[in-house]
Amino acid sequence: MLCGKTTCPVALRFNSLVNVGALSIDMKLEGNSPPEVFVGRFGYPKVFIGPMVPPIREDTSLLAAPQLWFGKSIEEIVNMRSQLVRGMYPVAITAPSSGLDRISQMVQELGLSSSPADSVLEFLKKPVSTITLSDHFEPFGPSAPLRSFNLGNLKMAKPLEKAFYDVDLKAQDAVVNSYEAGTDVSSINRALSVGAFGLERRRRFVPTRWSITAVDSIISQKLMRSVKINPLINEYHVYECDNLDNRYIVLMMPQMWGYEWIEAWWPKTAWNPESSVSMQGDYEHYEGRTTYASIGGCYYAVRLAVAEKLSAMGRQAGVVALREAYPGYIVPVGVWINRESVRMALIREPQRFNTLGDALRHISTRMQIPIGRWIKSSALLRDALYQTRLSEFFH
C-alpha cells in the first residue's frame, strides 16, 4: 500500500495468477483458446505473434469478448484475462503476403475463428508469470517463446471467411463489410491483426494495439459519412454511465457534426501518480481530422460508439464526451472500457434540455470537476458558447 492507492495493484495481479493456477504452467499447455491472439509492436517490423490459451477445456469465449464485460469488477476482469497464456513466435510483419510457416498459419487461422478452438502449445521455456496491463488492449497472463502450436477443428464467421478469401478486397472495405454483416468489433480486430484482410500482396501482421484503433477509426469514419447528411437533433441530450469507478457523460448538441473526448484522471488512478487531477482531450470539427488524436486509441473507441448511436437515430449532432476516472480505477484494462461504457450510456434514455445552459447545469451536478474547468478544457463547448454570453449560464 506504499503507492497510496485504495487497492494494491501488485497484490491484485499476483492473486489473479495464483487463483487461476497460472504459476504452475510448465512447458506444455492444452486448452481452448477463446479465440484470442496477440501481435506485439516492439521491434517492428519484426514482431512476436502468438496464440493466447488458458489451461481450460470448457467454453472460454467470454475471455475474449469485452463487449460482454460491462458491470464486471476490475478483479473479475483481471482474473479472467490472467488465465490467458501467450505464446510468442518471431515473424516479419510481411509474412502473410509472402507465405506463412506452420505456426504463423495456425495463429492466423485462430485469429479468424468464431468460437473456442482446441489448442496445444509447447514452449521453449516455462512461461514467465507476469500480467500485461495496458490502457490500449485487454490484460493477459504469462508468456513464453513457442516451440510448437497445434490447433483442432475450428470455424470462421462467414463475413471474415469471405473477406479472407477475397484477395482483391481492400482492408478498409473488409473491415466495414464485416461490421455491416454483424461481426463484433473484437473479432474484426483479430482478423485485421493476423493479416487476414487486404489485397493479396499487401497483407501484413498488424500489432494488436494498432489494429484496435484502426478498426474503431475505419468503422466510425464510415458511419460519420452518413451521419453528416442527417438532420440535426432538436434539443440537447445528456447520457450517463458509471463503470469500474469511471463516470461517463455524453452531451449531444443540435449542431453540425463535431466530436470531442476529454478525460480527467484522479490522483492515484492507473495513469496519474500526481497529487492533482490530470485532464487531457482532443477533438474534431465537421471536416474530421487528418492527424492521430493526441489522447490515443480511446478517442476512436468512443467516436465509434457515438457514431453508432447517431447513425441508429438517423440524426446529426455535435458531441462532447467526458470521463472522470476515480481512485477505484487502479489498473488499466484496455480501451474497450471506454467504447463499451459509452455504448451502454447511449442505450439509456437521455436527459433532455432546451438550452445548452440547462444541459451544462445538469452536467455540473453529475461531475465532480467544476463545469467551468470542463468548458476551459473543451474546444467544442467554447465554440458552442461563443455566440452567447457566458454569464447567461452562471447566474
CA 19/CA 82 separation, integer angstroms: 9
Residues of the chain with pLDDT under 50: 389-391, 395
CA 196/CA 164 separation, integer angstroms: 5
Beta strands in 169-306 (DSSP E): 236-243, 246-253, 258-265, 278-284
Indicate the residue type of 134: S
pLDDT one-digit tens code per residue, 354-379: 999 999 999 999 999 999 999 999 99
What Cα–Cα distance (Å) separates residue 315 from each residue in 144, 226, 235, 287? 49, 9, 12, 17
* Residue-level pLDDT at 395: 47
DSSP 228-267: TTSPBPSSEEEEEEEETTEEEEEEEESSS-EEEEEEEE-T
Question: 3-class SS at 100?
Answer: coil
The pTM assigned to this predicted structure is 0.91
* Residue-level pLDDT at 388: 52
